[in-house]
């Protein structure tokens, strides 16, 4: 799909590139079979990793653990931070994790209301992260908000409207703009196209794909939709009942699935 990245991801392991994020023996269970366990993988800079699997397989639980929002029962998440250097997320201070969340990271929630402030304007939603990192010039903040509205294809004339006046697709795009304004390098997304009409989904996916490649973002995206995974992800992790059953390059996993569960997933999508 993307030769440069494919080459990077398949060769980086024996080349001298440090992973951006490494997961070691991570476990988080609410109850037996409910959660995720025995998770190990590395994410390299510029890589888009898809986490797929049916509903209830533990994808969101894993994503929350990776993005410092849910403390695992055991295991480590190692992150190579611009500001703090190599860090073991849950061994460090909560204050550092929260700094990461509003600077080097972005989190795009499935439900826009979880990721947006619905009672303030679109401009304020985008500007908040700038103000959180110390920006104090109104004119600059507003100019950057306009710039990012344009980047996510929202008319700048809507800058003073509240997100509640936006369509579902626009709300998701606003969430993306709100995250990208501080130039994060790693984005976590949980079903970003879930609940949207098919045509709206297609437009959002197109936008995401362009932004990710233009900005050289690293992404971990959770989706139960294999079509979304195929379009965005370089590499896939397939989960079932909280465990990883298969990993590999996206095309390999989807075109030549090895595990019976992946085969079932792939064939069921073909039947739809």
Ligand X SMILES: Nc1ncnc2c1ncn2[C@@H]1O[C@H](COP(=O)(O)OP(=O)(O)O)[C@@H](O)[C@H]1O
Q: Site residues (CB under 8 A) for another protein? A: 94-95, 98, 102, 117, 119-121, 123-124, 127-134, 136-139, 141-142, 159-160
* Minimum distance from residue 58 beta carbon to ligand X (Å): 4
* Minimum distance from residue 117 beta carbon to ligand X (Å): 24
Q: Which of 2, 60, 96, 247 binds Mg ion (CB under 5 A)?
A: 60
The Cα–Cα gap between 72 and 92 comes to 14
The Cα–Cα gap between 154 and 228 comes to 22
Of residues 57 and 250, the one with the C-beta less far from ligand X:
57
Q: Which of 5, 22, 23, 35 binds ligand X (CB under 6 A)?
A: 35
Residue 189 burial (CB count, 10 A)? 28
Q: Where are the alpha helices (DSSP H) in the chain?
A: 3-11, 59-66, 94-102, 112-115, 122-132, 138-151, 168-180, 198-215, 226-232, 250-255, 260-271
The Cα–Cα gap between 179 and 173 comes to 10
Q: Which of 9, 12, 22, 57 binds ligand X (CB under 6 A)?
A: 57
Identify what 15 binds: Mg ion, another protein, ligand X, none; CB under 5 to 8 Å per kind.
none
Please, which of residues 58-77 interact with ligand X by CB under 6 A? 58-61
| Residue 4 φ/ψ, nearest 5 degrees | -60, -45
Of residues 92 and 194, the one with the C-beta less far from Mg ion:
194
Residue with tokens 């079509």: 227
* Minimum distance from residue 182 beta carbon to another protein (Å): 11
Query: Is 201 in contact with 193 (CB distance < 8 Å)?
Result: yes
Residue 230 burial (CB count, 10 A)? 18
What DSSP state is assigned to residue 248?
A: E
Of residues 69 and 183, the one with the C-beta less far from ligand X:
69
* Minimum distance from residue 161 beta carbon to ligand X (Å): 31
Residues binding Mg ion (CB under 5 A)? 60
Residues binding ligand X (CB under 6 A)? 30, 34-35, 53, 55-61
């Amino acid at each position: 799909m993307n030769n440069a990245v494919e080459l990077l991801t398949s060769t980086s392991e024996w080349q001298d590139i440090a992973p951006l994020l490494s997961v070691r023996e991570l476990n988080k269970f609410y109850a037996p079979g409910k959660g995720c366990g025995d998770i190990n993988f590395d994410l390299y800079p510029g890589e888009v990793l898809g986490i797929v699997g049916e509903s209830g397989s533990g994808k969101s639980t894993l994503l929350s653990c990776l993005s410092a929002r849910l403390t695992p029962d055991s295991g480590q998440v190692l992150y190579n931070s611009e500001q703090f250097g190599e860090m073991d997320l849950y061994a460090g201070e909560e204050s550092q994790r929260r700094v990461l969340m509003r600077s080097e990271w972005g989190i795009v929630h499935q439900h826009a209301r979880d990721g947006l402030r619905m009672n303030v304007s679109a401009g304020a939603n985008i500007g908040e992260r700038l103000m959180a990192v110390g920006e104090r010039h109104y004119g600059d903040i507003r100019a950057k908000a306009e710039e990012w509205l344009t980047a996510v294809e929202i008319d700048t004339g809507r800058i003073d409207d509240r997100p509640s006046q936006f369509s579902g697709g626009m709300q998701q795009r606003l969430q993306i703009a709100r995250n990208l304004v501080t130039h994060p390098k790693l984005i976590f997304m949980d079903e970003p196209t879930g609940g949207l009409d098919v045509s709206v989904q297609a437009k959002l996916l197109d936008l995401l794909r362009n932004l990710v490649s233009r900005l050289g973002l690293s992404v971990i995206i959770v989706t139960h939709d294999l079509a979304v995974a195929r379009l965005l992800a370089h590499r896939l992790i397939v989960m079932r009942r909280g465990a990883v059953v298969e990993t590999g390059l996206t095309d390999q996993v989807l075109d030549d699935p090895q595990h019976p569960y992946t085969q079932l997933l792939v064939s069921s999508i073909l039947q739809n």
